[in-house]
Structure 1
Amino acid sequence: MSDKQIAGVDAPAAQPRVDVFEDATGITIVADLPGASTDTLELKVEGRNLLLEAAVATALPGDLESVYAEVRVPRYRHAFELSRELDTERIDAALKDGVLRLRIPKVAQAQPRRIAIQQG
């Protein structure tokens, strides 16, 4: 999906609110994307960069007209620079109720491991 398919090349983009959590085995990114769907969401990894883009679709029923809207831009866009400790080949992504959850595990060499100690 190109920028033109998302919302037009010159369309303004909002940076979604995100939370990033890290544990011993990787990071979890949680992004608020109200109005986005799996059809309009695009995730790309180029080198160490992760790009998140999504078109916003706010359909109103019938002949209703919006009086107030929290989201006034046609798309979201957020870029992240990822650590070399993260395994970008094993990213898991899920979108539910306008919340995107990404899990990016650490490469095996960066994860803590227990070393067995031999007796004697």
Structure 2
Amino acid sequence: MENKNELMQRETSGNEGEVSRPFVDVIEDENGITLIADLPGVTKENLAIRVDADMLIIEGAVKLGEADYLQPVYVEEQAAQYKRTFTLSPELDTSQIVASMHDGVLTLTMPKLEQAKPRRIEVNVA
């Protein structure tokens, strides 16, 4: 890739109201991109990751549990919602993205297409 930050040729954001943008780390190596997003409190069931054309969309929600027999008088916590959208480089193989979640940290591994990976060319002596 020409630029280490080419994964996000541009980041998009819309009128999302009270939706937070999760913090992310983006790591590139010769095999592809690893994106690590902090989504505290989000479970696998409340997480949606999708690719739409060249857009990667990550959405998650924190669902607060409440006992049926309790009637809160005053509550200072609110459920968090997260959303982040990225424009993906055409060098990435979006059909091979792998996602894993551990302790509120989402890890996406996005491999490069074979033709985009660096390769060594041997020189033959004629």
What interval of TM-score do these two structures reach, taking the shorter chain for normalisation?
A: 0.7 to 0.9
**Counterpart amino acid of 2:33?**
I
* C-alpha separation in 2, matches of 1:41 and 1:11: 19
Work out whether 1:101 is the aligned partner of 2:107. Answer: yes
Aligned residues: 108
The TM-score, its normalising length taken from structure 2, stands at 0.75
Does the CA-based 8 Å contact 1:85-1:110 persist in structure 2?
A: yes
Residues 9-44 of structure 1 deviation map (CA, whole Å, 9 limit, x = unaligned): x86211000010111111100000001011010001
Q: Unaligned regions of 5+ residues in structure 2, if any?
A: 1-15
| SS of equivalent residue, structure 1 residue 119 | coil
Deviating beyond 2 angstroms after TM superposition, the runs of 4 or more aligned structure 1 residues are 57-67
Work out whether 1:118 is the aligned partner of 2:109. Answer: no
| SS of equivalent residue, structure 2 residue 115 | helix
Q: Unaligned regions of 5+ residues in structure 1, if any?
A: 1-9
- Percent of aligned positions with the same letter in both sequences? 40
Does the CA-based 8 Å contact 1:12-1:73 persist in structure 2?
A: no
User: For the aligned residues, what is the CA RMSD?
Assistant: 2.3
Does the CA-based 8 Å contact 2:50-2:58 persist in structure 1?
A: yes
Structure-1 residue corresponding to 2:61: 55
The TM-score, its normalising length taken from structure 1, stands at 0.78
Does the CA-based 8 Å contact 1:90-1:105 persist in structure 2?
A: yes
* C-alpha separation in 2, matches of 1:73 and 1:117: 60
Write the mapping of 1:4-23 to structure 2, written as runs, cut at 5 A: 12-23=18-29
Pairwise CA distance, 1:66? 5.9
* C-alpha separation in 1, matches of 2:57 and 2:98: 14
Structure-1 residue corresponding to 2:39: 33
Structure-1 residue corresponding to 2:7: none
* C-alpha separation in 2, matches of 1:16 and 1:30: 10
Work out whether 1:88 is the aligned partner of 2:103. Answer: no
Pairwise CA distance, 1:60? 6.5
